[in-house]
Amino acid sequence: MDKLISIIKAAITEAATSDNCSLPFAVYSSIKEQHLLNVPVVKPLLIAVLAGDKQLGKQGEISCGAGNFIFLSDNPAIDMRNIPQATEYFALLIEFEYEDFIGLRPYSVSQTGGKPYCVGEISTVLNKCLQQFVEWSVFSPQDMWSIRRKEILQLLYYLGYQNIVSMAASHKVGQKIHTMLSAQPAVDVPLAQICQQLAMSESTLRRKLLAEGSTIQEIKDQVKLGLGLHLIQTTEHSIIYIAEQCGYQSQSRFTERFKHRFGLTPSALRKTKVTG
């Protein structure tokens, strides 16, 4: 795993000095344990744990150690522990679009066991595939990202993890709203505008969200606080700057909502990533 970690760190450094610093992956790392509550998973997500251990669920029911991966379907709130071993916790995250799954053989829920996740080993061939994905991402245009994500899915499928197909559920209304709001996370989009873009009446929208177990406010919180969590984990921006990017007028309000959602303050989370 050390070689892959080095390649990832080199790619992040190179991207940071280029004109286009966007990358089709993220890295979450820490040198102290992170215990996060209610983490939203909006799209199918591959988490490759390269150092340390990851536990998911209120009692750590799902465990994933270094050299293994976990593939998650969308989930509005899941508890996570990122546990460093030796020197650090280090994980590669790749988020997939539902269109990436087109072409994979469909499996029914009964065929896949109905689990919204799968855990597996980062084999030699998967390790090589992830290395190539990271190296290629530095110079590849965004229009080609889907091609390489599909390669990862195809490989996982043929390595025997066919149940990843069941994690690509058809678009829910809540997911459409999440995508819409994510384009302008700092803007409080009026309900009337959301209804207009979805071509739905307010009553129909609320009814559909109720059937999905969600509300407009919950989705707005997922967008804003999910972005805040991501920025704290992946950047060194000040917390006040992150609060502004997430649409909060004050750092104190952002901190209050962040702690209420995730169980710790942004400052406490940031301290898990630095010495002292």
What domain range is 20 assigned to? 2-167
Q: Two tokens at 216?
A: 């407009």
Among the candidates 102, 134, 167, a domain finishes at 167
Given this model, what pLDDT does residue 15 score?
85
Same domain, 138 and 234: no
Q: Two tokens at 24?
A: 């089709």
Question: How do residues 28-43 score in pLDDT, each as one tens digit?
Answer: 999 999 999 999 998 9
Same domain, 152 and 23: yes
Q: Two tokens at 52?
A: 């340390």
Q: What is the pTM of this model?
A: 0.92
Answer whether residue 262 shows pLDDT above 90. Answer: yes
* Cα separation, 131 vs 121, whole angstroms: 15
Where residue 97 sits, what CATH number does that domain have? 2.60.120.810
Question: How do residues 198-247 score in pLDDT, each as one tens digit?
Answer: 999 999 999 999 998 899 999 999 999 999 999 999 999 999 999 999 99
276 assigned to some structural domain = no
Where residue 220 sits, what CATH number does that domain have? 1.10.10.60
Q: Are strands 89-95 and 45-51 parallel, antiparallel or unpaired?
A: antiparallel
3-state secondary structure of 77: strand
